[in-house]
Amino acid sequence: MKAWRFSEFGGIDRLHLETANIRDPGPGEVKISVAYAAINHVDRLVIGGRLKWVPLPRIPGAEYVGTVVQRGEGVEDCSVGDRVAVFPKMFCGRCRFCTTGQESVCLEAWNPERAPVDLSTNMLPSSMDGGWAEEAIAPARNLVPLPDSIGFREAACLPLSAMTAHHIVKRVSPVAGSTALVMGATGGVGAFAVQLLKLAGCTVIAVVNNKSQEQAIRDMGADHVIPRTTSPVKEEAIRMSGGYGVDIVVDSLGQTTFASSVGSLAPCGKYVTAGTLTGPVSELSLMLVYSRQLQIIGSTTGSKKDLRAVIELAASGKIRAVISSTFDFDRLPDAVENYMLQGRMGKVLVRIGEP
Ligand SMILES: [Zn+2]
């Protein structure tokens, strides 16, 4: 089978389309014929060598969907021919977090010696080959079935981006009538966060790169839009929320937006961080936190329950994937380049085994 693989850490020029032998699935594993894969930040981290212990060569691809073509020993919950999404994190299924439906913080998958802070290192392509290939091996416990009413192309946007957005919204438990600000609303996670916050009954203010993205994000349900290159985000957010600030801020950008995010919050407001795309370190006045009774909340990826929920919501048409572009498999490096462009709206996908 063909796979995009790298043997040295570095830029995307390290990726090569190779003919790779794929082993049979071991006990508890399945082999999947990959239909579509998506490009995500975590893949770039893996290729770039942020996780130095990843054995090489490696096939990236944290987010993918496809069809089960072979089952390993002891696999009974799925059949050959099943259409599936792959939960993108390794988890043990036994620890106190896994058994309470919080697989994203599985204690056994976290290696504090390698990554004392970063729990997210148990993402699929840091532990085993991912889905930038015609076929992939995955633990059977990671599979979530896809209903026939959802196509592979749309489904490929769900295992990481939509699931992450669903988990974020769960972490802030919004009350209907709240006002929520979404930074980076045009990204993969952001566009789903806008839709899910609307479904929860929030008034949503979406922060986009520029005015040309305004209509698209309004079509996703945003009530107000702030183009960040031409408008002061904090001042506009406070004005749009009636002068006192917003109840919820969703911010996956991190360092560069932190001050305006926290500054936009109303008393008892909740700031949720789900990524640090622009850097991880920021200053915070604890006086602001206690005197306004703010909550600072972390959220990373999600649980299998979150993934099942977004598959159901997408299958019933309550949320929809925003796809920026789709590339053929042999042009995968172009897809990664495209992913890195500013002003992109939604997901970048790669068509692999699906016509
Ligand atoms: Zn566990």
Domain ranges of the chain: 2-88+123-157+321-351, 165-298
At 199 the three-state DSSP class reads helix
Strand ranges in 11-82 using DSSP code E only, listed in sequence order: 16-19, 29-38, 64-71
Distance separating alpha carbons of residues 273 and 290, to the nearest angstrom: 18
What was the pLDDT predicted at 280?
A: 87
Cα–Cα distance list, 104 to 56, 108, 199 (Å): 24, 11, 24
The two beta strands, 2-5 and 16-19, are antiparallel
Distance separating alpha carbons of residues 220 and 206, to the nearest angstrom: 10
At 83 the three-state DSSP class reads strand
**Dist. CA 98 → ligand 1 center (Å):** 4
Show the tokens assigned to 38: 């998506």
Give percent above pLDDT 90 in the chain: 80
What was the pLDDT predicted at 114?
A: 67
Query: Around Cβ 230, how many Cβ atoms within 10 Å?
Result: 9
**Dist. CA 127 → ligand 1 center (Å):** 15
Is residue 276 within 8 Å of residue 183, measured between CB atoms? Answer: no
pLDDT band at residue 171 under the 50/70/90 scheme: very high
**Dist. CA 111 → ligand 1 center (Å):** 12
Residue 114 — φ and ψ, nearest 5°?
Answer: -80, -40
Show the tokens assigned to 190: 């952001």
Show the tokens assigned to 316: 């019933």
**Dist. CA 272 → ligand 1 center (Å):** 24
**Dist. CA 303 → ligand 1 center (Å):** 11
Is residue 93 within 8 Å of residue 141, measured between CB atoms? Answer: yes
Q: Is the peptide bond before 227 cis (omega within 30 degrees of 0)?
A: no
Give percent above pLDDT 70 in the chain: 97
- Residue 225, pLDDT > 60, answer yes
**Dist. CA 48 → ligand 1 center (Å):** 27
Average pLDDT, the chain: 93
Q: Do domains 2-88+123-157+321-351 and 165-298 have the same CATH topology?
A: yes
**Dist. CA 105 → ligand 1 center (Å):** 7
**Dist. CA 96 → ligand 1 center (Å):** 7
**Dist. CA 329 → ligand 1 center (Å):** 34
**Dist. CA 276 → ligand 1 center (Å):** 25
**Dist. CA 92 → ligand 1 center (Å):** 4
What was the pLDDT predicted at 277?
A: 83
Distance separating alpha carbons of residues 307 and 158, to the nearest angstrom: 7
Q: Identify the CA nearest to 261 among candidates 289, 233, 236, 283.
A: 233
Strand ranges in 257-351 using DSSP code E only, listed in sequence order: 265-273, 295-298, 323-328, 347-351
**Dist. CA 94 → ligand 1 center (Å):** 5
Distance separating alpha carbons of residues 171 and 305, to the nearest angstrom: 13
CATH 3.90.180.10 fits domain 2-88+123-157+321-351: yes
Is residue 49 within 8 Å of residue 10, measured between CB atoms? Answer: yes
| Segment 8-18 mean pLDDT | 95
**Dist. CA 63 → ligand 1 center (Å):** 20
**Dist. CA 265 → ligand 1 center (Å):** 35
**Dist. CA 90 → ligand 1 center (Å):** 9
Is residue 136 within 8 Å of residue 17, measured between CB atoms? Answer: no
**Dist. CA 77 → ligand 1 center (Å):** 19
Query: Around Cβ 215, how many Cβ atoms within 10 Å?
Result: 9
**Dist. CA 106 → ligand 1 center (Å):** 4
Tell me the CATH number of domain 165-298, given options 3.30.750.200, 3.30.930.10, 3.10.105.10, 3.90.180.10.
Answer: 3.90.180.10
At 44 the three-state DSSP class reads helix
Is residue 71 within 8 Å of residue 17, measured between CB atoms? Answer: no
**Dist. CA 103 → ligand 1 center (Å):** 6
The distance of Cα 117 from the centroid of its chain, to the nearest Å, equals 19
What was the pLDDT predicted at 130?
A: 96
**Dist. CA 250 → ligand 1 center (Å):** 27
Looking at residue 343, the DSSP 8-state letter turns out to be T
Distance separating alpha carbons of residues 155 and 311, to the nearest angstrom: 7
Tens digit of pLDDT for each residue in 16-25?
A: 999 989 999 9
**Dist. CA 35 → ligand 1 center (Å):** 28
**Dist. CA 158 → ligand 1 center (Å):** 22
**Dist. CA 301 → ligand 1 center (Å):** 15
**Dist. CA 99 → ligand 1 center (Å):** 7
Q: Enter the pTM of the model.
A: 0.94
Find the helix packing angle between 188-199 and 304-315, rounded to 10°: 80
Distance separating alpha carbons of residues 193 and 179, to the nearest angstrom: 13
Tens digit of pLDDT for each residue in 39-72?
A: 998 899 899 998 888 899 999 999 999 999 999 9
**Dist. CA 12 → ligand 1 center (Å):** 32
Distance separating alpha carbons of residues 323 and 351, to the nearest angstrom: 12
**Dist. CA 3 → ligand 1 center (Å):** 30
Q: Identify the CA nearest to 141 among candidates 65, 78, 63.
A: 78
Residue 272, Cβ density class (10 Å: 0-12 exposed, 13-18 middle, ≥19 buried): buried
**Dist. CA 54 → ligand 1 center (Å):** 20
Show the tokens assigned to 236: 């506009």
